[in-house]
Amino acid sequence: MIKTSHIAGASMRSAAPLQDWTASETAAAVNSRTVSCESVVRACLDHIAEREAQVMAWEYLNPDQVIAQARALDAAGVSGALAGVPFGIKDIIDTSDMPTQMGSPIYKGHRPKGDAACVALSRKAGGILLGKTVTTEFANRHPGKTHNPFDFARTPGGSSSGSAAAVGAHMVPLAIGTQTTASTIRPASFCGTFGYRPTHGDLRCVGVKEASGTLDTLGLFARSVEDIALYRDVLTGSAPVPITEPPAPLRVGFCRTHLWSQLEPHTQSLIEDAAQGLARAGCKVEDVALPADFERVEDAHRWVSSFEFSRNFTWEIENHWDEISETLRNNRLKDGLACSFDHYREARNLLAHCRGLLDPVFEKYDVLINAPATGEAPVGLNQTGNASVCVIWTSMHVPAMTLPLFKGPNHLPIGLQLIARRNNDRGLFSAARRIWQTLS
Amino acid sequence: MIKTSHIAGASMRSAAPLQDWTASETAAAVNSRTVSCESVVRACLDHIAEREAQVMAWEYLNPDQVIAQARALDAAGVSGALAGVPFGIKDIIDTSDMPTQMGSPIYKGHRPKGDAACVALSRKAGGILLGKTVTTEFANRHPGKTHNPFDFARTPGGSSSGSAAAVGAHMVPLAIGTQTTASTIRPASFCGTFGYRPTHGDLRCVGVKEASGTLDTLGLFARSVEDIALYRDVLTGSAPVPITEPPAPLRVGFCRTHLWSQLEPHTQSLIEDAAQGLARAGCKVEDVALPADFERVEDAHRWVSSFEFSRNFTWEIENHWDEISETLRNNRLKDGLACSFDHYREARNLLAHCRGLLDPVFEKYDVLINAPATGEAPVGLNQTGNASVCVIWTSMHVPAMTLPLFKGPNHLPIGLQLIARRNNDRGLFSAARRIWQTLS
């Protein structure tokens, strides 16, 4: 294979190969015409060709199609916040020019009419859709083919398996996933990427297969805090603005929650060390305990997500039951179909009640910290790992980010999860950049 | 044309022709095998054949397909809450076996992969999808071809124009629409039907083209309160339960709002007379004034809906701008594309704030009453009427229903709108049935 990442005539912003550049670096170089879109996508495609046989991050990827699109953008003199930036999207997200197969045989070969809003906004900003990344079946638990890029015997996490692995393996600088439980934050932690789950409702989900509307959001994977902030601005249809400085001192709440005992001891130590490290660096760090009602959130999340999922998929259930996995039938669908509307509403009301209880916590803290997962990615590809530590934050509609700061006992990635107040995504970015600078 | 509604051998529950039966009556007769599905759909199809040339409620209707489905259900011995009940759905709602054209040339001939959740749930309950009803372009303002069934020179209202007209013209006993502003309650009032807008989030919108997720709900059209309650249970995937008796005395808040002056004087008198009639019948009726913050809801609704709409339709905007109407381009899209994320979020926060202010109002009242529209359907088919009186209630996520109680100065329908507390849809039904019995 011919390596094309070091192209003659291009003045490089960085000594690193093009596939290792962040989205911000690539866009700056393409906008200033020092790097071509074609050279960027060829670097990524070559790197994918080297690694895909082991990682299997992609459900659909057509190099000829991608190169043709890159050449067209070069010819048109593309500009924009994502000019020339390759991105991948989870295969539950509609694309007009690629199949959207949902990790399910029911949707084999399915071709939607149009692009999902998030795809169209990315393309409008000059981004180049590289391909569709592997998802678990309908973004639920039944795994796809993807392996953890850091240990092929381990899960990449789910449900946004391919998006996390593709960014973690430096196949692409940006990818979109979704999160209903832990489907962005957990795989980002397992695959050593930055992962971001926005305030619920901020980023449009049109053209994304809904699992549970009360909980679903997009999720973003990147290799820097700045790229996350940039991509969020693109996806709100806004001109990018720089990350601001956080308050000084940064007020950090260390929020173990009642689920702390589920963490592996090594992970507990890493998060505790991080809290101490932030305190030594001048942050105001305090332990935070949540009200007792939060101990009921995990159960309520289960009923809300299962009820909504089981109604959302009525067409598939009624017409394609035999093509649904046993995993999905015997867990999410069994729960959901057995759940009454009254029980569902009670659970939904509990989550709304707890959201109201969480708001005042953020009067004392700029950001909360916790673990994004219970430990390193577990061995085995037949599951996606424990999701419980993300459930509270997902259910609270708060923005969250995981920073790829640590290595576990097997030298595999573990992140630090940061959580901010609803609607304070930019405050989350300010804190995340400061904490990254402090601890990395 | 051969009238088939009075079929030999069927023991009729009602002396009325089959197309005039309510859904509840039809389902009972089909479940007890006293009426066949085929006879029901033939009655509706014959009635449509008589009236469609003037009303133009249907975007797609294939009698052969419908009769074949009815025969298949008869052969299978269908049973269920909607057994044999014909229903229509707004043409922004996906169907696996009929086109879904969104009122837009962009989607001409578009065939989705599967049924929307609401369609699949209706069919699971034994309902027979008769066809797709006319929608304004993408459920926005640019009208379709439908005429008001009570005066062909007048609008049926919008955006669920065809669904309202089809039920109002007795073409079908049930229809589904949507509501982002006034798109169910207003056309129901104009077309003389019961119209219901559920608590936001209760009825799944998977497979329904989103206008503005913060505001969108399904909307139901029927010819009785009981049918509305029945259909809601079907769409939550629940076994139907009877409507309960309301509290005695029923506490009714007469809530004119600051928009009262927009109502035509005749409509003001009708609503005031209704309030007095309820008081005479033993209800506890009081005037209710909303806090001043509610005067900002209409403006906030405009920015929330426009911002979300303009991002949701990025694919259409970027790839099919020339096929979008001037109405949509110069209003909703122009507003939305000019609206910053911060302005949008501020507007969204105001709506959330006002929801919190409205909850305590319902500690004193079981139901609020107001008008569903400013008056009778206006003359002209190039617009869908004034939507403003619905904006507050839509934005508050509360359940609402309009009852076809009145006639205006031109002997055209005008409804009475009832509003209940979020999550109290069953309380709304109890009050609605009592108020209907009292005033009709």
Whose tokens are 């079981």? That residue is B366
pLDDT digits (tens, 9 = 90+) for A295-312: 999 999 999 999 999 999
Q: In what helix (H) or strand (E) does residue A194 lie, and over which residues does it extend?
A: strand A194-197
Structure confidence at residue A15 (pLDDT): 75
User: Rounded CA gap, B345 and A262, in Å?
Assistant: 36
pLDDT digits (tens, 9 = 90+) for B17-33: 999 999 999 999 999 99
Partners of residue A345 in chain B, C-beta under 8 Å: 202, 423
CB B208 within 8 A of CB B172: no
pLDDT digits (tens, 9 = 90+) for B202-228: 999 999 999 999 999 999 999 999 999
A 368-427 residues with CB < 8 A to B: 423
B3 included as an active-site residue = no
Partners of residue B311 in chain A, C-beta under 8 Å: 117, 121, 204, 236-237
State how far Cα A45 lies from the chain centre: 21
Q: Please compute the mean of the pLDDT values over residues A375-394 and round it to a whole number.
A: 95
Cβ within 8 Å, pair B318-A123: yes
Q: In what helix (H) or strand (E) does residue A241 lie, and over which residues does it extend?
A: none
- Amino acid identity of residue B8, one-letter, is A
Peptide bond into B249 cis (omega under 30): yes
Distance from CA of B276 to the nearest CA of A (A): 35
User: Rounded CA gap, B292 and B223, in Å?
Assistant: 36
Q: How far is CA A79 from CA A130, A238, B436, in A?
A: 18, 15, 61
User: Rounded CA gap, B29 and B17, in Å?
Assistant: 13
Show the CA angle centred on residue A338, arms to residues A333 and A344, nearest 5°.
95
CB A170 within 8 A of CB A47: yes
Closest CA to B25 of B245, B241, B189, B230: B230
Cβ within 8 Å, pair A121-B311: yes
Question: Does residue B86 sit at the A interface (CB-CB below 8 Å)?
Answer: no
Residue extent(s) of CATH 3.90.1300.10 domains in chain A: 22-297+346-440
pLDDT digits (tens, 9 = 90+) for B91-101: 999 999 999 99
Architecture of domain A22-297+346-440: Alpha-Beta Complex (3.90)
Question: Does residue A116 sit at the B interface (CB-CB below 8 Å)?
Answer: yes
User: Rounded CA gap, A223 and B304, in Å?
Assistant: 32
User: Rounded CA gap, B212 and B354, in Å?
Assistant: 18
Task: Single out the catalytic residue among B5, B24, B39, B159.
Answer: B159
Q: Which of A204, A319, A349 lies closest to B308 in CB terms?
A: A204
Superfamily of domain B18-235: Amidase signature (AS) domain (3.90.1300.10)
User: Rounded CA gap, A181 and A198, in Å?
Assistant: 13
Q: Give SS3 for A416.
A: strand
Q: How far is CA B57 from CA B103, B160, B193, B200, in A?
A: 12, 10, 14, 26
User: Rounded CA gap, A195 and A178, in Å?
Assistant: 11
Q: Strand A400-407 relative to strand A284-287: parallel, antiparallel, unpaired?
A: unpaired
Question: Does residue B115 sit at the A interface (CB-CB below 8 Å)?
Answer: yes
Average pLDDT taken over every residue of chain A: 96
Q: Please compute the mean of the pLDDT values over residues A22-31 and round it to a whole number.
A: 98
User: Rounded CA gap, B365 and B254, in Å?
Assistant: 10
pLDDT digits (tens, 9 = 90+) for A62-115: 999 999 999 999 999 999 999 999 999 999 999 999 999 999 999 999 999 999
What are φ and ψ of residue B99, in 5° steps? -65, 160
- Compare all CA atoms of chain A with the CA of B115 and give the residue at the minimum distance: A315
Structure confidence at residue A14 (pLDDT): 59
Partners of residue B318 in chain A, C-beta under 8 Å: 120, 123-124
Task: Single out the catalytic residue among A5, A36, A122, A159.
Answer: A159
On the question of pLDDT at B3 being above 60, the answer is no
The contacts of residue B68 (CB under 8 Å, 6+ apart) are none
pLDDT band at A413 (very low <50, low <70, confident <90, very high): very high
B96 included as an active-site residue = no
DSSP per residue, B152-197: TTB---SSSHHHHHHHHTTS-SEEEEEESSSTTHHHHHHHT-EEEE
Cβ within 8 Å, pair A311-B204: yes
Question: Does residue A121 sit at the B interface (CB-CB below 8 Å)?
Answer: yes
* Mutation target among A78, A110, A204 for the B interface, most CBs of B within 10 A: A204
Cβ within 8 Å, pair A311-B236: yes
Distance from CA of A318 to the nearest CA of B (A): 7
CB B168 within 8 A of CB B150: yes
pLDDT band at B14 (very low <50, low <70, confident <90, very high): low
User: Rounded CA gap, B225 and B433, in Å?
Assistant: 6
User: Rounded CA gap, A109 and A216, in Å?
Assistant: 25
Q: Strand B194-197 relative to strand B400-407: parallel, antiparallel, unpaired?
A: antiparallel
User: Rounded CA gap, A37 and A84, in Å?
Assistant: 5
Cβ within 8 Å, pair B237-A337: yes
A 261-290 residues with CB < 8 A to B: none
Question: Does residue A109 sit at the B interface (CB-CB below 8 Å)?
Answer: no
Q: Please compute the mean of the pLDDT values over residues A306-331 and round it to a whole number.
A: 98
On the question of pLDDT at B121 being above 60, the answer is yes
Partners of residue A207 in chain B, C-beta under 8 Å: 315
Q: Please compute the mean of the pLDDT values over residues A305-331 and round it to a whole number.
A: 98
B352: number of Cβ within 10 Å = 15
Task: Single out the catalytic residue among B5, B39, B90, B104.
Answer: B90
ipTM more than 0.90? yes
Q: Please compute the mean of the pLDDT values over residues A8-21 and round it to a whole number.
A: 68
Which structure tokens are listed for B102?
């969104």
CB A189 within 8 A of CB A212: no
Cβ within 8 Å, pair B201-A119: no
Whose tokens are 């970015």? That residue is A429
Distance from CA of A124 to the nearest CA of B (A): 7
Closest CA to A132 of A67, A59, A184, A205: A59
Structure confidence at residue A6 (pLDDT): 38
Question: Does residue B244 sit at the A interface (CB-CB below 8 Å)?
Answer: no
pLDDT band at B2 (very low <50, low <70, confident <90, very high): very low
Share of chain B above pLDDT 90, in %: 97
User: Rounded CA gap, A91 and A84, in Å?
Assistant: 21
The 3 state secondary structure assigned to A91-150 is CCECCCCCCCCCCCHHHCCCCCCCCCHHHHHHHHCCCEEEEEECCCHHHCCCCCCCCECC
Question: Does residue A355 sit at the B interface (CB-CB below 8 Å)?
Answer: no
Distance from CA of B234 to the nearest CA of A (A): 11
Cβ within 8 Å, pair B315-A210: no
pLDDT digits (tens, 9 = 90+) for B32-83: 999 999 999 999 999 999 999 999 999 999 999 999 999 999 999 999 999 9
pLDDT digits (tens, 9 = 90+) for B134-189: 999 999 999 999 999 999 999 999 999 999 999 999 999 999 999 999 999 999 99
B417 Rama sector, left if φ>0, alpha if ψ -120 to 50, beta otherwise? beta
Which structure tokens are listed for B426?
């069953």
A440 included as an active-site residue = no
On the question of pLDDT at B6 being above 80, the answer is no
User: Rounded CA gap, B128 and B185, in Å?
Assistant: 24
Closest CA to B418 of B388, A73, B410, B426: B426
Partners of residue A73 in chain B, C-beta under 8 Å: none
Q: Which of B110, B117, B340 lies closest to A314 in CB terms?
A: B117
State how far Cα A200 lies from the chain centre: 14
Q: Which of B107, B113, B120 lies closest to A314 in CB terms?
A: B120
Whose tokens are 């000829």? That residue is A64
User: Rounded CA gap, A124 and B180, in Å?
Assistant: 26
